[in-house]
Protein backbone atom coordinates (compact mmCIF):
# COMPACT_ATOMS: atom_id res chain seq x y z
CA UNK A 1 0.00 0.00 0.00
CA UNK A 2 1.21 3.50 -0.87
CA UNK A 3 0.13 6.84 0.55
CA UNK A 4 -0.47 9.49 -2.11
CA UNK A 5 -1.85 12.96 -2.63
CA UNK A 6 -4.87 12.46 -4.89
CA UNK A 7 -6.33 15.95 -5.00
CA UNK A 8 -5.15 19.54 -4.52
CA UNK A 9 -6.76 22.94 -4.19
CA UNK A 10 -5.69 26.44 -3.25
CA UNK A 11 -7.19 29.83 -2.54
CA UNK A 12 -5.24 32.91 -3.59
CA UNK A 13 -6.74 36.11 -2.13
CA UNK A 14 -7.89 38.81 -4.52
CA UNK A 15 -6.34 41.90 -2.90
CA UNK A 16 -2.91 42.65 -4.37
CA UNK A 17 -0.60 44.70 -2.14
CA UNK A 18 2.32 46.00 -4.20
CA UNK A 19 5.68 47.15 -2.84
CA UNK A 20 4.88 50.76 -3.67
CA UNK A 21 1.85 50.55 -1.38
CA UNK A 22 4.35 50.68 1.52
CA UNK A 23 5.92 53.98 0.46
CA UNK A 24 3.87 55.95 3.02
CA UNK A 25 4.48 53.59 5.96
CA UNK A 26 6.44 54.81 8.97
CA UNK A 27 9.07 52.09 9.34
CA UNK A 28 10.94 52.07 12.66
CA UNK A 29 13.66 50.03 14.31
CA UNK A 30 12.64 47.62 17.07
CA UNK A 31 13.64 50.19 19.72
CA UNK A 32 11.32 52.77 18.17
CA UNK A 33 14.07 54.83 16.56
CA UNK A 34 13.86 56.13 13.01
CA UNK A 35 15.51 54.33 10.12
CA UNK A 36 17.98 56.56 8.32
CA UNK A 37 16.83 55.62 4.83
CA UNK A 38 14.00 56.70 2.58
CA UNK A 39 11.19 54.17 2.20
CA UNK A 40 11.98 53.80 -1.48
CA UNK A 41 15.50 52.65 -0.55
CA UNK A 42 14.23 50.32 2.21
CA UNK A 43 11.71 48.73 -0.14
CA UNK A 44 14.16 48.33 -3.04
CA UNK A 45 16.64 46.60 -0.73
CA UNK A 46 13.82 44.41 0.61
CA UNK A 47 12.87 43.36 -2.93
CA UNK A 48 16.50 42.53 -3.80
CA UNK A 49 16.81 40.22 -0.78
CA UNK A 50 13.39 38.55 -0.67
CA UNK A 51 12.34 38.67 -4.34
CA UNK A 52 8.92 39.96 -3.32
CA UNK A 53 7.23 42.48 -5.62
CA UNK A 54 3.67 41.99 -4.38
CA UNK A 55 1.67 39.88 -1.97
CA UNK A 56 -1.97 38.87 -1.42
CA UNK A 57 -4.35 39.84 1.41
CA UNK A 58 -7.87 38.59 2.10
CA UNK A 59 -10.94 40.82 2.07
CA UNK A 60 -12.05 42.37 5.37
CA UNK A 61 -15.11 40.12 5.74
CA UNK A 62 -13.17 36.86 5.35
CA UNK A 63 -11.49 34.72 8.00
CA UNK A 64 -8.73 32.13 8.00
CA UNK A 65 -11.29 29.33 8.34
CA UNK A 66 -13.18 30.67 5.30
CA UNK A 67 -10.22 30.47 2.95
CA UNK A 68 -9.29 27.04 4.37
CA UNK A 69 -12.82 25.95 3.43
CA UNK A 70 -12.49 27.36 -0.11
CA UNK A 71 -9.22 25.47 -0.69
CA UNK A 72 -10.68 22.28 0.81
CA UNK A 73 -13.67 22.33 -1.51
CA UNK A 74 -11.31 22.45 -4.50
CA UNK A 75 -9.14 19.61 -3.18
CA UNK A 76 -12.13 17.35 -2.52
CA UNK A 77 -13.53 18.08 -5.97
CA UNK A 78 -10.12 17.49 -7.58
CA UNK A 79 -9.74 14.11 -5.83
CA UNK A 80 -13.31 13.15 -6.76
CA UNK A 81 -14.02 11.78 -3.29
CA UNK A 82 -17.04 11.83 -1.00
CA UNK A 83 -16.43 14.34 1.80
CA UNK A 84 -18.15 11.92 4.21
CA UNK A 85 -15.35 9.41 3.59
CA UNK A 86 -12.69 11.69 5.09
CA UNK A 87 -11.30 10.26 8.34
CA UNK A 88 -9.22 13.25 9.48
CA UNK A 89 -9.21 16.97 8.79
CA UNK A 90 -5.79 18.30 9.80
CA UNK A 91 -5.40 22.08 9.65
CA UNK A 92 -1.97 23.68 9.93
CA UNK A 93 -2.03 27.36 10.91
CA UNK A 94 -0.48 29.61 13.55
CA UNK A 95 -2.88 32.39 14.52
CA UNK A 96 -6.43 31.05 14.20
CA UNK A 97 -9.21 33.32 13.01
CA UNK A 98 -8.31 36.99 13.44
CA UNK A 99 -11.14 39.31 12.50
CA UNK A 100 -10.26 42.52 10.68
CA UNK A 101 -9.17 45.28 13.08
CA UNK A 102 -9.38 43.14 16.22
CA UNK A 103 -6.69 42.51 18.83
CA UNK A 104 -7.38 38.86 19.62
CA UNK A 105 -7.15 35.63 17.68
CA UNK A 106 -9.91 33.05 17.96
CA UNK A 107 -9.12 29.33 18.11
CA UNK A 108 -12.23 27.99 19.86
CA UNK A 109 -13.66 26.01 18.21
CA UNK A 110 -10.64 24.83 16.25
CA UNK A 111 -10.16 25.87 12.64
CA UNK A 112 -10.56 22.19 11.70
CA UNK A 113 -14.00 22.06 13.36
CA UNK A 114 -14.98 25.26 11.57
CA UNK A 115 -13.86 23.84 8.22
CA UNK A 116 -15.77 20.62 8.86
CA UNK A 117 -18.83 22.71 9.71
CA UNK A 118 -18.50 24.79 6.54
CA UNK A 119 -18.03 21.64 4.45
CA UNK A 120 -21.20 20.26 6.07
CA UNK A 121 -19.53 16.92 6.82
CA UNK A 122 -22.01 14.93 8.94
CA UNK A 123 -19.85 11.92 9.81
CA UNK A 124 -18.81 12.24 13.51
CA UNK A 125 -15.95 9.79 12.88
CA UNK A 126 -14.31 12.44 10.71
CA UNK A 127 -11.96 13.90 13.32
CA UNK A 128 -10.71 17.46 12.98
CA UNK A 129 -7.77 19.01 14.78
CA UNK A 130 -5.36 21.91 14.42
CA UNK A 131 -1.60 21.66 14.06
CA UNK A 132 0.70 24.45 15.28
CA UNK A 133 4.16 23.80 13.85
CA UNK A 134 5.22 27.14 12.35
CA UNK A 135 5.60 27.42 8.59
CA UNK A 136 6.39 23.66 8.23
CA UNK A 137 2.89 22.84 9.55
CA UNK A 138 1.34 21.63 6.30
CA UNK A 139 4.22 19.26 5.58
CA UNK A 140 4.00 17.94 9.14
CA UNK A 141 0.26 17.46 8.63
CA UNK A 142 0.93 15.31 5.56
CA UNK A 143 3.47 13.29 7.57
CA UNK A 144 0.84 12.74 10.29
CA UNK A 145 -1.77 11.76 7.70
CA UNK A 146 0.65 9.21 6.30
CA UNK A 147 1.18 7.78 9.80
CA UNK A 148 -2.58 7.46 10.37
CA UNK A 149 -3.05 5.69 7.05
CA UNK A 150 0.00 3.41 7.37
CA UNK A 151 -1.16 2.32 10.84
CA UNK A 152 -4.65 1.47 9.61
CA UNK A 153 -6.34 4.23 11.61
CA UNK A 154 -7.44 6.07 8.48
CA UNK A 155 -7.85 5.64 4.77
CA UNK A 156 -8.29 9.25 3.71
CA UNK A 157 -7.26 12.61 5.20
CA UNK A 158 -7.77 16.25 4.28
CA UNK A 159 -4.64 18.28 5.11
CA UNK A 160 -4.85 22.07 4.96
CA UNK A 161 -2.33 24.89 5.29
CA UNK A 162 -4.01 28.24 5.86
CA UNK A 163 -2.96 31.60 7.25
CA UNK A 164 -3.91 35.28 7.29
CA UNK A 165 -0.69 36.98 8.31
CA UNK A 166 -1.99 40.37 7.13
CA UNK A 167 -4.00 40.39 10.38
CA UNK A 168 -0.92 40.04 12.64
CA UNK A 169 1.68 42.31 11.01
CA UNK A 170 3.13 45.50 12.49
CA UNK A 171 2.95 48.24 9.87
CA UNK A 172 5.96 49.93 11.52
CA UNK A 173 8.17 46.88 10.99
CA UNK A 174 10.01 46.38 7.69
CA UNK A 175 9.47 42.63 8.02
CA UNK A 176 5.72 43.20 7.61
CA UNK A 177 6.30 43.41 3.86
CA UNK A 178 7.22 39.71 3.73
CA UNK A 179 3.93 38.32 4.96
CA UNK A 180 0.74 37.47 3.11
CA UNK A 181 -2.46 35.41 3.21
CA UNK A 182 -3.40 32.17 1.50
CA UNK A 183 -4.69 28.64 1.84
CA UNK A 184 -4.17 25.29 0.16
CA UNK A 185 -5.40 21.76 0.82
CA UNK A 186 -4.75 18.21 -0.30
CA UNK A 187 -6.44 14.84 -0.03
CA UNK A 188 -4.01 12.19 1.22
CA UNK A 189 -5.10 8.55 0.95
CA UNK A 190 -4.02 4.98 0.54
CA UNK A 191 -3.45 3.97 -3.04
CA UNK A 192 -2.55 0.91 -5.08
CA UNK A 193 -0.72 3.14 -7.56
CA UNK A 194 3.05 3.41 -7.60
CA UNK A 195 4.74 6.27 -5.77
CA UNK A 196 3.53 8.54 -3.02
CA UNK A 197 5.42 9.38 0.17
CA UNK A 198 8.79 7.62 0.00
CA UNK A 199 10.48 9.19 3.00
CA UNK A 200 10.23 12.05 5.45
CA UNK A 201 12.18 13.76 8.21
CA UNK A 202 11.37 16.34 10.90
CA UNK A 203 13.31 18.20 13.59
CA UNK A 204 12.75 20.84 16.27
CA UNK A 205 15.57 23.09 17.45
CA UNK A 206 14.44 24.79 20.66
CA UNK A 207 17.47 25.10 22.94
CA UNK A 208 18.68 28.47 21.63
CA UNK A 209 16.38 28.86 18.62
CA UNK A 210 12.85 28.60 20.06
CA UNK A 211 12.16 32.35 20.02
CA UNK A 212 13.70 33.32 16.68
CA UNK A 213 10.10 33.95 15.55
CA UNK A 214 7.75 35.26 18.22
CA UNK A 215 4.74 37.43 19.07
CA UNK A 216 5.80 40.94 20.12
CA UNK A 217 4.84 44.59 20.45
CA UNK A 218 4.77 47.20 17.72
CA UNK A 219 7.96 49.12 16.88
CA UNK A 220 6.04 52.36 17.50
CA UNK A 221 6.50 52.73 21.25
CA UNK A 222 3.80 55.34 21.90
CA UNK A 223 1.01 52.99 20.73
CA UNK A 224 -1.00 51.95 23.79
CA UNK A 225 -3.15 49.05 22.51
CA UNK A 226 -2.44 45.50 23.64
CA UNK A 227 -2.14 43.98 20.19
CA UNK A 228 0.80 41.68 19.46
CA UNK A 229 2.41 41.07 16.08
CA UNK A 230 4.51 38.45 14.33
CA UNK A 231 8.19 39.29 14.86
CA UNK A 232 11.45 37.63 13.90
CA UNK A 233 15.22 37.83 14.19
CA UNK A 234 15.87 37.71 10.47
CA UNK A 235 19.67 37.34 10.54
CA UNK A 236 19.53 34.51 13.09
CA UNK A 237 16.89 32.68 11.05
CA UNK A 238 18.94 33.09 7.86
CA UNK A 239 22.06 31.64 9.49
CA UNK A 240 20.07 28.85 11.16
CA UNK A 241 18.35 27.87 7.92
CA UNK A 242 21.55 27.83 5.84
CA UNK A 243 23.24 25.61 8.41
CA UNK A 244 20.43 23.16 9.17
CA UNK A 245 17.97 22.90 6.26
CA UNK A 246 20.46 21.48 3.70
CA UNK A 247 21.41 18.83 6.28
CA UNK A 248 17.74 17.96 6.82
CA UNK A 249 17.16 17.67 3.08
CA UNK A 250 20.15 15.37 2.70
CA UNK A 251 19.10 13.24 5.66
CA UNK A 252 15.60 12.84 4.25
CA UNK A 253 16.78 12.01 0.73
CA UNK A 254 19.45 9.56 1.91
CA UNK A 255 16.92 7.70 4.09
CA UNK A 256 14.54 7.44 1.13
CA UNK A 257 17.10 5.62 -1.02
CA UNK A 258 16.47 7.97 -3.93
CA UNK A 259 19.41 9.40 -5.87
CA UNK A 260 19.84 13.18 -5.94
CA UNK A 261 20.00 12.87 -9.74
CA UNK A 262 16.41 11.59 -9.80
CA UNK A 263 14.96 14.65 -8.02
CA UNK A 264 12.96 16.75 -10.49
CA UNK A 265 11.71 19.58 -8.26
CA UNK A 266 12.24 20.97 -4.78
CA UNK A 267 9.17 22.75 -3.46
CA UNK A 268 10.57 24.75 -0.57
CA UNK A 269 8.73 27.11 1.79
CA UNK A 270 8.56 30.53 0.17
CA UNK A 271 10.27 32.46 2.96
CA UNK A 272 12.95 34.52 1.22
CA UNK A 273 14.19 34.04 -2.34
CA UNK A 274 17.89 34.56 -1.55
CA UNK A 275 17.72 32.26 1.49
CA UNK A 276 15.86 29.51 -0.36
CA UNK A 277 18.33 29.62 -3.24
CA UNK A 278 21.28 29.45 -0.83
CA UNK A 279 19.71 26.46 0.97
CA UNK A 280 19.20 24.48 -2.23
CA UNK A 281 22.68 25.36 -3.53
CA UNK A 282 24.20 24.03 -0.30
CA UNK A 283 22.05 20.91 -0.53
CA UNK A 284 23.42 20.10 -3.99
CA UNK A 285 26.95 21.05 -2.94
CA UNK A 286 26.75 18.35 -0.24
CA UNK A 287 26.54 15.85 -3.13
CA UNK A 288 29.32 17.57 -5.06
CA UNK A 289 26.86 19.02 -7.57
CA UNK A 290 25.67 22.39 -8.79
CA UNK A 291 22.04 23.37 -8.33
CA UNK A 292 20.18 22.48 -11.57
CA UNK A 293 18.36 25.26 -13.37
CA UNK A 294 14.61 25.31 -12.76
CA UNK A 295 14.77 22.84 -9.85
CA UNK A 296 13.28 25.34 -7.35
CA UNK A 297 9.98 26.90 -8.50
CA UNK A 298 9.13 30.18 -6.78
CA UNK A 299 5.90 32.09 -6.14
CA UNK A 300 7.14 34.48 -3.46
CA UNK A 301 7.64 37.31 -5.98
CA UNK A 302 3.88 37.57 -6.54
CA UNK A 303 2.31 35.86 -3.50
CA UNK A 304 4.65 36.71 -0.62
CA UNK A 305 5.12 34.45 2.39
CA UNK A 306 1.81 32.89 3.48
CA UNK A 307 3.48 30.57 6.01
CA UNK A 308 1.92 27.07 6.02
CA UNK A 309 0.18 27.76 2.70
CA UNK A 310 3.23 28.41 0.51
CA UNK A 311 4.29 24.82 -0.28
CA UNK A 312 0.84 23.33 -1.01
CA UNK A 313 -0.14 26.44 -3.01
CA UNK A 314 3.03 26.09 -5.09
CA UNK A 315 2.30 22.40 -5.66
CA UNK A 316 -1.31 23.05 -6.68
CA UNK A 317 -0.34 25.86 -9.06
CA UNK A 318 2.22 23.69 -10.85
CA UNK A 319 -0.19 20.76 -11.18
CA UNK A 320 -2.88 23.09 -12.54
CA UNK A 321 -0.51 24.63 -15.11
CA UNK A 322 -0.57 28.06 -13.44
CA UNK A 323 3.19 28.54 -13.07
CA UNK A 324 5.12 29.37 -16.23
CA UNK A 325 7.79 26.90 -17.38
CA UNK A 326 7.11 24.54 -14.46
CA UNK A 327 5.52 21.09 -14.52
CA UNK A 328 5.41 17.89 -12.52
CA UNK A 329 4.76 14.69 -14.44
CA UNK A 330 3.69 11.23 -13.36
CA UNK A 331 6.62 9.39 -11.83
CA UNK A 332 8.59 12.54 -11.02
CA UNK A 333 10.37 12.58 -7.67
CA UNK A 334 9.98 15.86 -5.78
CA UNK A 335 10.94 17.13 -2.35
CA UNK A 336 8.68 19.21 -0.11
CA UNK A 337 10.67 21.17 2.48
CA UNK A 338 10.11 23.90 5.04
CA UNK A 339 11.62 25.77 7.97
CA UNK A 340 9.91 28.03 10.47
CA UNK A 341 8.88 29.01 13.99
CA UNK A 342 9.79 26.54 16.67
CA UNK A 343 12.38 26.37 15.12
CA UNK A 344 11.10 23.47 13.04
CA UNK A 345 12.42 21.86 9.87
CA UNK A 346 10.88 19.05 7.82
CA UNK A 347 10.94 17.43 4.39
CA UNK A 348 9.14 14.78 2.36
CA UNK A 349 10.50 12.83 -0.61
CA UNK A 350 7.50 12.21 -2.83
CA UNK A 351 6.99 10.34 -6.10
CA UNK A 352 4.16 11.92 -8.06
Residue 323 confidence (pLDDT) above 80: yes
Per-residue model confidence as pLDDT tens digits over 86-109: 999 999 999 999 999 887 888 899
- Percentage of the chain lying above the pLDDT 70 cut: 100
Q: What are phi and psi of 212, to 5 degrees?
A: -65, -35
Among 27, 145, 9, which residue's Cα sits nearest to residue 81? 9
Residues 83, 310, 69: CA angle, nearest 5 degrees: 30
Residue 223 confidence (pLDDT) above 80: no
Say which residues have a Cβ less than 8 Å from residue 321's Cβ, sequence separation at least 6.
327
Could you give all domains of the chain from N- to C-terminal order, each with its CATH number? 2-193 (3.40.47.10), 198-351 (3.40.47.10)
> What pLDDT is recorded for position 216?
85
> What pLDDT is recorded for position 220?
81
> What pLDDT is recorded for position 180?
96
Residue 262 confidence (pLDDT) above 80: yes
- Dist CA 144 CA 218 (whole Å): 35
Highest mean pLDDT among 49-53, 85-89, 340-344: 85-89
Residue 131 confidence (pLDDT) above 90: yes
Model confidence, pTM: 0.94
Mean of all residue pLDDT scores within the chain: 93
> What pLDDT is recorded for position 89?
98
> What pLDDT is recorded for position 34?
84
> Worst-scoring range by mean pLDDT, 7-21, 212-226, 307-321?
212-226
Per-residue model confidence as pLDDT tens digits over 136-194: 999 999 999 999 999 999 999 999 999 999 999 988 888 899 999 999 999 999 998 88
> What pLDDT is recorded for position 221?
80
Residue 226 confidence (pLDDT) above 80: no
DSSP 8-state class, residue 293: T
Residues 29, 34, 35: CA angle, nearest 5 degrees: 75
Cβ(71)–Cβ(90) below 8 Å? no
Among 162, 160, 159, which residue's Cα sits nearest to residue 183? 162
> Worst-scoring range by mean pLDDT, 9-18, 105-114, 168-177?
168-177
Residue 222 confidence (pLDDT) above 80: no
More confident residue, 16 or 33: 16
Residue 5 confidence (pLDDT) above 80: yes
Which own/partner contact pairs does 96-101 have at CB distance under 8 Å and 24+ positions apart? 96/64, 97/63, 97/64, 97/65, 98/63, 98/64, 98/164, 98/167, 98/168, 99/63, 99/167, 100/60, 100/61, 100/167
> What pLDDT is recorded for position 218?
85
Cβ(317)–Cβ(115) below 8 Å? no
Q: What average pLDDT does this structure show over 277-288?
A: 95
Amino acid sequence: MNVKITGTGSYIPSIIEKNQDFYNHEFLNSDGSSINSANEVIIEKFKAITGIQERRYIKEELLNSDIAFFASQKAIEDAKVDKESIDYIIVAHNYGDVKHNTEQSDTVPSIASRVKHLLKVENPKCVGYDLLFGCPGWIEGVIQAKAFIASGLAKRCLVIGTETLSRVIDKHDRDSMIYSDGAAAVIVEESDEDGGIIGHDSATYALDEAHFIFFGETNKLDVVDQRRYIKMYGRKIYEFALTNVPKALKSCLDKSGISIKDVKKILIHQANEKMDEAIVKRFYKSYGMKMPEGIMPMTINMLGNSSVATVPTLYDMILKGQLKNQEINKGDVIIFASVGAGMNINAIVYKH
